[in-house]
Amino acid sequence: MKGPHANRSQECSVEQVTAATLKQAGKVIAVHLAYQSRAEQRGRTPAKPSYFLKASSSLSLSGSAIERPAGCELLAYEGEIALVIGKAARRVSLENAWQHVGHVTASNDLGVYDLKYADKGSNVRSKSGDGFTPFGPGLIPAADVDPAALRVRTWVNGRLVQEDTTAGLIFPFSQIVADLSQLMTLEPGDIILTGTPAGSSVAVPGDLIEVEVDAPGAGLSTGRLRTAVVQGSAELADFGNGPKATDADREDAWGSAEAAGLAPQGLSAELKRKLTSVGTATLSAQLRKLGLNNVSIDGLKSTRPELRIAGTARTLRYVPNREDLFKTHGGGFNAQKRIINDLNDGDVLVMEARGEPGTGTVGDILALRAQVRGAAAIVTDGGVRDVAAVAALDMPTFFTGAHPAVLGRKHIPWDTDLTISCGGATVQPGDIIVGDSDGLLVIPPSLAEEVADGAIAQEHEETFIAEKVGEGNSVEGLYPMNAAWKAKFAEWAATHPNPAAQP
């Protein structure tokens, strides 16, 4: 319970957490995102803190076991510093907020990503399972430490996986306490989980997770909070939402696609080079050879027709506006804003707007955010607002036409990363989208290399054919080439290497 440099008087200032201590907790409040290292990992930095509640019955003592629920695969750990309120706080100031904190300790904000979808951000079931908030083992008096000089560390099976200090907080503890006290009374015993730094990942049955909070300068430590992970056997009842996990959930829970064992996202640089070295007209011919005739996104124009783009599809579906549903799904951090904020390098955001041009589906601010996130393009079979500003971006947007109206006139942003229809074509997340001044194509990832190589060879042949037509030759027998012309092409190709075939 004491740090390696603690003397006996310091040791006496750390008291052991008991079951009685946990019973005093009327509320358990958690901060969504509070460390800069975690924000950088997530790709977004909030301007103000936001919170969710955990059931007080989720609290458990050091040495307890935690069940990964049957049917779930993504039990994630989050080592955190917990604040225990010592004196009631209501509308306290930033300057006085720390005086209302009685103790600090270690906690582990466990949760199952398999159930996050069910509660629309409240985390009720994903975070409030019995034992999902281990706490302790020692309480350090808040008066004995500098809140800006605390450290939190997490180990899994003895390997250090998280380490940060409160110098890396986006929101200092005083701001969190003062902010929460504006609308609710923080009462003695209430617990605030102050967010986790980078390094949170997935634990599996058999793992031992340890979290420690210390004040290195004061020589004080909570000791290591130990939690063993075991496999639950009781299936969740089918009258409630059951476990469900997407690859996006796996990437979030594990911390990266690589850690989750997922295939690397996006195009390789070489495949992108191949696809953008040829026109969509040539690629379309190759797709037709493979029997794919319904893979063009039709009826759209580009803000940057001089550019060729290639990227992997992320999808967003709008549904027709219904006023009551727009109130619940259209405002705030809705599906449109969430997916734009989650785009990665090389993504192409493809929107299903039902071919309805009578309102905007994206405007200048969100298009700029997509560009900043590294998106290759935006594709919508609906309208675009602020067209002049959108057209001034480096990133092209493909759209049906301009319209000044906002979403609520015709659309509700409904869901993301699912199979959609856009411009008459079916688009799935991960499909490869290629576009230029001629239009847009959807290429199945499994066929992309074959299509690209075939298109590069075809364009080399057509360079030869165009040269011969320019010299006055008839297209008969030349386009397409008969055996005689193929022989002549082979001779020509021996001295005219195909530049697009070279990496």
Tokens for 457, please give them: 């060879």
8 A C-beta contact, residue 113 and residue 74: yes
Q: Is 363 annotated as a binding residue?
A: yes
For residue 126, give every residue at least 6 positions away whose Cβ sits within 8 Å of its Cβ, in sequence order, or none: 111, 112, 113, 114, 115, 116, 118, 119
Q: Is 412 annotated as a binding residue?
A: no
Half-sphere exposure of 440 (CA within 13 A, CB side): 36
Tokens for 272, please give them: 């992108």
Strands, DSSP E only, in 387-431?
A: 397-399, 401-402, 411-416, 420-422, 425-427
Plot region of 71 (φ>0 → left; ψ -120 to 50 → alpha; else → beta) = left
User: Which residue has tokens 């989720």?
Assistant: 58
35 beta partners: 169
Between CA 354 and CA 335 the distance in angstroms is: 17
139 φ, ψ (degrees, to nearest 5): -105, 125
Candidates 312, 303, 276; CA nearest to 435 is 276
Q: Is 364 annotated as a binding residue?
A: yes
Cα angle for residues 411, 420, 322 (degrees, 5° grid): 20
**237 DSSP 8-state letter:** P
Q: Is 130 annotated as a binding residue?
A: no
Torsion angle, CA of 54/60/61/63, rounded to 10 degrees? Answer: -120
Question: Burial, 207: exposed, middle or buried (Cβ in 10 Å; 0-12, 13-18, 19+)?
Answer: middle
Between CA 37 and CA 33 the distance in angstroms is: 10
Q: Is 66 annotated as a binding residue?
A: no
Where is the binding site for substrate, in residues?
Answer: 363-366, 385
Residues annotated within the binding site are: 363-366, 385-386
| Binding-site residue ranges for Mg(2+) | 386
